[in-house]
């Protein structure tokens, strides 16, 4: 039996108190995500229940009960507190998907500090921008990633400590560096939990900006209320599930539904810290007996490309419920999933800023392949007329996806950027930056982005950030970055570059510039194609018109060009 029942039944007379009561929370009480995910579960008699099964690249395995993660998060929290980390300070987690990433996240929250997870593939410049903006106090990392931090440490005076979790003593620690080993540290049985309340800051996730640098999305401990309920009603998480969320905690899915919700519900979850291959993923599902699988459309399309035949080599009968996140799930993937797994992937829609699933397909509800689904009970969504900033009075019109901004896990602001936060609202509605339409039955259908952000394999890339990196290359005079269609990732980064005098376009220069961006930012931000041009389309005021280049790549109407210089 599903957790949600009928959608209509749950939506009628909905109140978030349903989740508050389950979590034992009352208005004004202390609420601490770290405590709720560990100590509370142990107090419920589940101390010996398996919480986390981790599998590394070479098949190494580590297993943690709920008491284990309680002690580990206590130990990490006590260590950070001993270094002088105070409540409200930002502590960055810059690691692969190793156990210390998951346990460190909870330990940071237990002492009232703010967890700042960053994707381990980020290059030094992407790292610098985010650590500088957050005025981060400490970075917890591995020795292989510490090299990137060292390159920029002199420019980051706010960082007091660079904590290396796998330092082997073979090389001396440098200035501000400190070693920490979870396995060697004495377990801390009791840790004084910082008395965080509903509006106490918890997590700082960075997301890409349309016309500026990435913005820090500030979440609070009260987010737990909607993260748990959406996991229960959308992901259909149950007490006996073996859960696999494939997302990296460097992104919001990996924290909201890869750490917070499953642990707060006392569920057993599995983590695979290894690269993608269809065979490895299917083997992992078979070996771990995964029952609930939360993945991404890019991965699903990659599995489709691997073919149907390979699926039959594995026993995947444990799978009970499948869901997808990060980008639109094309209808072909839903149909394919039904064919090979005997069940569809349920698409879920949300953002870093929303903190939880806001539109979804639900267990027990008809899945219409290609549709985003319907708003979660208690969340008011609409399609806004972009000209009048009012909801369309009838169905079928394409407009802006918007919400009344009143659910527990919504962001509270952009870090040190209240102006950008205010710009997200029109006439009282929160604007997502996406366009969609609603059909006569209330199903939402995604159409596209309303800005220049590039969604490649579910990861948002800022054209501005890539352009800024390109301009640091000695050969680049001007650049413009847009998305281009891609069969696997839906869209990828393409750069148009005007070279400085003395430089000539070539394949070698093409590769050199690509790798330059990859090292400075990340593999995701690296242009997959570079087109060298003599000039870029600009307005008469000198602003580069990305929409012209985007339209050409996507075969769309270019539209009004009257403002283009020399048109």
d(CA 263, CA 259): 6
Q: Is the pLDDT of residue 495 over 60?
A: yes
Report the range out of 10-19, 157-166, 554-563 with the highest average pLDDT: 157-166
Give the count of beta carbons closer than 10 Å to the beta carbon of residue 30.
14
Over the stretch 290-334, which tens digit does the pLDDT of each residue have? 999 999 988 998 899 888 999 999 999 999 999 999 888 888 889
| Range scoring the smallest mean pLDDT among 199-203, 348-352, 522-526 | 522-526
The rounded mean pLDDT for the chain is 92
Provide mean pLDDT across the span 182-188: 96
The pLDDT score that the predictor gives to residue 298 is: 84
CA 187, distance to chain mean position in Å, is: 31
The pLDDT score that the predictor gives to residue 278 is: 94
d(CA 433, CA 436): 10
The pLDDT score that the predictor gives to residue 452 is: 77
Over the stretch 90-135, which tens digit does the pLDDT of each residue have? 999 999 999 999 999 999 999 999 999 999 999 999 999 999 999 9
Residue 84 neighbours by CB under 8 Å, 6+ apart: 160
Helix (H, G, I), strand (E, B) or coil at 247: coil
The pLDDT score that the predictor gives to residue 1 is: 44
**Structure pTM?**
0.87
Label the pairing between strands 50-55 and 114-117: unpaired
| 266 neighbors 66 (Cβ within 8 angstroms) | yes
The pLDDT score that the predictor gives to residue 562 is: 42
Q: Is the pLDDT of residue 445 over 50?
A: yes
The pLDDT score that the predictor gives to residue 209 is: 58
| 290 neighbors 244 (Cβ within 8 angstroms) | yes
| Fold of the CATH domain 7-435 | Rossmann fold (3.40.50)
Q: Is the pLDDT of residue 253 over 70?
A: yes
Q: How confident is the model at residue 7 (pLDDT cuts 50, 70, 90)?
A: confident
d(CA 189, CA 564): 67
Q: Is the pLDDT of residue 560 over 60?
A: no
| 198 neighbors 174 (Cβ within 8 angstroms) | no
Percent of the chain with pLDDT over 90: 76
Q: Is the pLDDT of residue 4 over 70?
A: no
Over the stretch 459-482, which tens digit does the pLDDT of each residue have? 878 887 888 889 889 999 888 999
| 214 neighbors 129 (Cβ within 8 angstroms) | yes
Locus of tokens 């950008």: 420
* Residue of 373, 370, 372, 295 lying closest to 331 (CA atoms): 370
Q: How confident is the model at residue 563 (pLDDT cuts 50, 70, 90)?
A: very low
Provide mean pLDDT across the span 242-247: 97
Over the stretch 60-89, which tens digit does the pLDDT of each residue have? 999 999 999 999 999 999 999 999 999 999
Helix (H) or strand (E) holding 64: strand 61-65
Over the stretch 411-424, which tens digit does the pLDDT of each residue have? 999 999 999 999 99
**Domain 454-554 is classified in which CATH homologous superfamily?**
ANL, C-terminal domain (3.30.300.30)
The pLDDT score that the predictor gives to residue 112 is: 98
Over the stretch 348-382, which tens digit does the pLDDT of each residue have? 999 999 999 999 999 988 889 889 999 999 999 99
Q: Is the pLDDT of residue 535 over 50?
A: yes
- What residue spans define the domains of the chain? 7-435, 454-554
DSSP state of 331: H
The pLDDT score that the predictor gives to residue 545 is: 80
Phi, psi of 346 (to 5 degrees): -95, 115
Q: Is the pLDDT of residue 484 over 70?
A: yes
Residue 425 neighbours by CB under 8 Å, 6+ apart: 405, 431
Over the stretch 499-520, which tens digit does the pLDDT of each residue have? 998 999 999 999 999 999 999 9
The pLDDT score that the predictor gives to residue 561 is: 52
The pLDDT score that the predictor gives to residue 169 is: 80
């Amino acid at each position: 039996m599903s957790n949600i029942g009928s959608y209509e039944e749950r939506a009628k007379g909905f109140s978030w108190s349903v989740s508050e009561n389950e979590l034992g929370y009352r208005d004004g009480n202390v609420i601490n995500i770290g405590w709720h995910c560990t100590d509370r579960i142990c107090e419920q008699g589940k101390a010996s229940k398996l919480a986390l099964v981790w599998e590394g690249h070479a098949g190494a395995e580590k297993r943690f009960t709920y008491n284990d993660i309680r002690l580990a998060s206590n130990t990490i929290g006590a260590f950070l507190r001993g270094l002088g980390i105070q409540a409200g300070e930002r502590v960055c987690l810059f690691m692969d998907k190793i156990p210390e990433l998951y346990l460190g996240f909870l330990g940071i929250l237990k002492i009232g500090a703010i967890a700042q997870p960053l994707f381990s593939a980020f290059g030094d410049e992407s790292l610098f921008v985010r650590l500088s903006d957050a005025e981060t106090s400490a970075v917890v990392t591995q020795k292989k990633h510490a090299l990137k931090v060292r390159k920029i440490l002199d420019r980051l005076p706010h960082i007091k400590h660079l904590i290396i979790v796998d330092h082997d003593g073979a090389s001396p620690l440098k200035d501000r560096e400190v070693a920490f080993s979870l396995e060697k540290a004495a377990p801390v049985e009791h840790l004084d939990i910082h008395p965080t309340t509903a509006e106490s800051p918890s997590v700082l996730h960075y997301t890409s900006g349309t016309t500026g640098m990435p913005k820090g999305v500030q979440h609070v401990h009260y987010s737990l209320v909607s993260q748990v309920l959406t996991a229960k009603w959308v992901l259909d998480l149950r007490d006996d599930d073996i859960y696999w969320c494939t997302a990296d905690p460097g992104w919001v899915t990996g924290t909201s539904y890869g750490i917070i919700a499953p642990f707060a519900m006392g569920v057993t979850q599995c983590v695979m810290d290894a690269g993608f291959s269809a065979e490895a993923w299917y083997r992992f599902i078979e070996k771990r007996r995964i029952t609930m699988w939360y993945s991404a459309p890019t991965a699903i399309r990659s599995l489709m490309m691997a073919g149907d035949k390979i699926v039959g080599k594995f026993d995947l009968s444990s799978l009970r419920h499948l869901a997808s996140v990060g980008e639109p799930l094309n209808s072909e993937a839903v149909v394919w999933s039904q064919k090979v797994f005997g069940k569809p992937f349920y698409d879920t829609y949300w953002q870093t800023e929303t903190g939880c699933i806001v539109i979804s397909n639900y267990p027990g509800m008809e899945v219409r392949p290609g549709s985003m689904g319907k708003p979660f009970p208690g969340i008011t969504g609409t399609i806004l007329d972009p000209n009048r900033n009012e909801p369309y009075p009838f169905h079928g019109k394409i407009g802006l996806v918007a919400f009344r901004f009143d659910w527990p896990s919504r962001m509270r602001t952009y870090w040190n950027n209240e102006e950008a936060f205010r710009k997200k609202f029109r006439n009282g509605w929160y604007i997502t930056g996406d366009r969609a339409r609603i059909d006569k039955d209330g199903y939402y259908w995604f159409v596209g982005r309303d800005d220049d952000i590039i969604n490649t394999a579910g990861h948002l890339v800022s054209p501005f950030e890539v352009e800024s990196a390109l301009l640091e290359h000695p050969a680049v005079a001007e650049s413009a970055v847009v998305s281009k269609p891609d069969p696997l990732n839906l869209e990828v980064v393409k750069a148009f570059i005007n070279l400085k005098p003395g430089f000539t376009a070539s394949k070698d220069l093409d590769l050199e510039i690509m790798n330059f961006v990859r090292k400075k930012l990340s593999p995701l931000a690296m242009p997959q194609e570079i087109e060298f041009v003599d000039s870029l389309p600009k307005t008469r005021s000198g602003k580069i018109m990305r929409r012209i280049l985007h339209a050409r790549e996507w075969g769309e109407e270019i539209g009004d060009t009257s403002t283009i210089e020399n048109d």
